[in-house]
Structures are given as C-alpha cells and as structure tokens.
Amino acid sequence: MEFTSKIKTIEWVNNTSRMIDQTLLPYELKTVDIITCDEMYNAIKNMIVRGAPAIGIAGAQGLSLAALELAKITNDVNEFLKKLEEKAQYLKSARPTAVNLMWAIDKQLEIAHNTISTVYGLTDAIVKNGKAMELADIEINKQIGEYGAQIVPKGATILTHCNAGALATVGYGTALGVIRSAYAKDQTIKVFADETRPRQQGARLTAFELITDGIDTTLITDGMCSYFMKKKMIDIVIVGADRIATNGDTANKIGTYTVAIAAKYHNIPFYIAAPLSTIDSNIKSGDEIIIEERDHNEVTHINGKKICPDGVKIINPSFDITPNELISGIITEKGILRPNYTSSIKKALSIN
C-alpha cells in the first residue's frame, strides 16, 4: 500500500506562505499565514518552521514574498535584482547550518538572473519556481522513503533522533519518510524516538507524527539509547541531516553524534536520510560546517519554567557533526550512497 502523511507543513496559497506553527505542537495544531519577507525570516529564526528541507522551501517562498514586495516599489529590473540579492542574504542569515536554506534561495536567484523580463515577469517566475520546489519536495522524500525501506529488516525497531518527518519537510519526511515507506510494507515495524533536548523535537514532533499515523512508537530520553541497544531492542538507526560535506561528514541535531558512536559500538547500522540538496558541494569535511549557537533559555527553561539555578553557565550548540566512518549509508532520492563517500557523493551529484 502507499502511505500518505496527514500533515502538510508548508504550502503556497494565494501569494501567501501557509505553514504549521511548530512551536505550538503537540498542544495545538495551527497554521499561520506568512505574508512578508520579514515575517518569513522570523518564522525560520524562531523555528515556527524547522527541519532542513522545510526551511529550504520556506526560504524559497520567503524570496517569493520579497519579490512581490519589491515589485510594488520599483519597475527597474536592475534595482529589483539588487534589492532581491539583499533580501536573499538576509533570509540566509536566519539559520546558518541548514544548507537547504542557502540552496533553495540560490535556486530562486538563478531563476531571477536567468529570466529576461520585466519586474512583473521576474516576480511571476520566482513565485512559480517556489511553488514547483514545494511540490517536488514531497516526491523527492517519497523516493528517499522507497530506497530506505529496502534496508529496513522485517519487524525491525528503528531508532530516530530529532524530527526528520513531514514537519521537517513539505509533507512526507526523510528519516520518517523511510519509516513510513517501510511501515507501508510491514505493519510490524516499530519506532523508538529520542526526546531530543533541548527543544524536544522528538517528543513534541516525531512522536506526534508517528502516533497520528498509527505507527507503534516508544519515546525515550536521549541518554537511554545505549541501554536499549545493549538489550538488542534497536535494530537500525535512521536520522535526517542539516548539512552533509562531500566526504560524508554530517551535521544533524545535537546528540546525533552520540547515537552514532553507540550504534557503532553495538554493531547497529546507522543511516542518514536526506535529499541531495542537503549535500554542500563547497565543503570537503564537517570541520567547515558552521554550528549554530542558540538561545540559552532553550536549555535553562522547559515550557517557560526555569529548571536550573541562577548563575550556571550554558553552552547551546544546535547541531553536531557525525564523522563519515560512523555512517553505514546516506539514503537519497537517487539511491543509497555508500563509503567511499567522496566518490559516491561525487557520482550522485553529477547525475542529479
């Protein structure tokens, strides 16, 4: 059977970007309409929308909104393009680690610079391309899901970290897309979801998605994975990615590296699921990836309540880097990439 997620994270409707406000989940399922470039910057920055592919589409639609705004104040193509470039850099600065944001905005800029037209024509081309990217995202994720389902053993229990599901994409998921596709073929599949401190995306978002879809899910805290691996209660690990270097080093939510080390020790396969757009062809290793440092309140507070004493020092990196030698494979829309990643990634990008 074909599995269809009930969640649509972001959608372009009547020159407006309509998205689920993920800061309210799982308590309230509510959409918000983003109508300006500034509103989109804030939605990305404050994690109303999050997850690398979804952030990418949000960035593309943010530039569509910027184009619509600029078309109201200038008819000069050169001025329009100059200001559009400024808006693009502004949007890129909202989340520095997720490369999909930069990739999607650059795709929009390519359309703008390669279209010979009036300001009206340029704006129309940018808006149409942003919508096309939205529609393509779901199909890409379904392809990732189909390839990934092939490596999930029958009756497996899958561990995942953070949220790489419909809420992290337009509406199907990368790591959770693999889980959905595997579940469509085998309803005995089970999932363990790490809670994912400090923002609890696993508890709030992944568990919400999987329970909504009727998939057997157990929530565990981040420090429990080794315990369950030793007890042979986890068969495979599948996570998403925010940026992948050309040698396969992968940035993902903080704590992923720890899970990968535990999986390696217990001889459990550890897979990344991500579209090829998450690969940054400009960097050779994870050492070059900028790690976003987020607000300290994310660590010191839960649901608005302080959980630690005054005066304690806080460090809050949002991501860590999993070295390529810990990764069994990278599941993409073009197939599963295997070590040597430098060569397999190069080949995959050349046929994309």
- Which residue numbers are catalytic? 242
> How is residue 203 annotated by DSSP?
I
Contact yes or no for 210/217 (Cβ under 8 A) = yes
CB neighbours of 207 closer than 8 A, spacing ≥ 6?
26, 193, 217, 219
Count Cα atoms within 13 angstroms, Cβ side, for 277: 23
Partners of residue 253 on adjacent β-strands: 319
- Measured CA to CA, the distance from residue 13 to residue 21 in angstroms comes to 16
What angle do the packed helices 77-92 and 119-149 form, to 10 degrees? 30
- Measured CA to CA, the distance from residue 247 to residue 243 in angstroms comes to 12
Cα angle 100-66-95, degrees, rounded to a multiple of 5: 30
Look-up of token digits 């939510």: 253
Q: What are phi and psi of 116, to 5 degrees?
A: -90, 105
List b or e across 92-121, with b for residues whose CB sees 16 or more CB atoms inside 10 angstroms.
bebbbbbbbbbbbbebbbebbeebeeebee
